[in-house]
Structure 1
């Protein structure tokens, strides 16, 4: 397994990348919020050679408009991953699925994933649809063992000192290849 982090406007533009292989960066929320630090946070990741993913925090409302808003902010490169952060109980399972399928259609060359916690996955999800992969949050003190039976790609296992994740890949190169990026 390999290690990574995720960052939002709560973290600095220049974060510690030592020992990390990937980073997920929050870009948007709903149809109006954009993380003011995301471009510099992406530069930090790219300068360190990390595999990058970008996420949208979904809100109740028109999910295709939210997806278009999210996609309008990004200048994607090969290997960038795209993620729906599903934490708002106002976003239905059907809306979750619609966002992921819409983004997959709009950006077919990029992996599109679902991020959620175990409560949403086990108690709100009705389709087990996570696009190209599930990024599951479960702070159970067992990194790499998120406590679900469904196959997962990423496990967010703590938020101390910041959101830290493991990915179910052998190496950074294998993640980059899976995500559609060129070999290092």
Structure 2
């Protein structure tokens, strides 16, 4: 009753194993100057394996619209791709987190936009409970689907070794793909 995936960044290989996976999230950008040099090849690995694909931006303090524009300028989305904001920097406020997500939703109205954050951020820093189209929660307890929160969630990152491993709250890959493709403005 769940789907399995990983998330990758520049410190993972471009030819990561896709065996048994339904989805992948790939880091593209951070702040307004960094782009993952491996993301295009990492995306090709996902596409070749027919994975549902998401892309994320690691947000830093500063202009949210400039960072969102930088992120979105790096990728040509296809229907069913997902976008996520990676909120880990304590210098980024709730209002800034919310404004980034809302701005990306406005600019990409047919694309699901999610919030990724740790359980600690969600329980102890978040004050708005705004996660765009879904919450992707990091809680490394080794128990897929048990993220330790009451709020509805879509994805749970439950372990980091040997790779960041996630589960998604969908019946199967077809249901995830349909959800990702069904966003209407």
TM-score (ref. length: structure 1): 0.97
Match in the other structure for 2:93: 92
- Structure 1 residues not aligned, in runs of 5+: none
Matched residue SS, 1:112: strand
Match in the other structure for 2:123: 122
Matched residue SS, 2:145: coil
Q: Deviations over 1:29-71 (max 9, x none)?
A: 0000000000000000000000000000000000110000000
Match in the other structure for 2:69: 68
Q: Deviations over 1:86-125 (max 9, x none)?
A: 0000110000000000000000000000000011100110
Match in the other structure for 2:142: 141
Cα distance in 1 between the residues matched to 2:160 and 2:141: 12
Q: How many pairs were matched up?
A: 181
Match in the other structure for 2:152: 151
Runs of 4+ in 1 over 6 A off after TM superposition: none
TM-score (ref. length: structure 2): 0.97
Match in the other structure for 1:166: 167
Match in the other structure for 1:178: 179
- Structure 2 residues not aligned, in runs of 5+: none
Matched residue SS, 1:68: helix
Matched residue SS, 1:17: coil
Cα distance in 2 between the residues matched to 1:53 and 1:139: 20
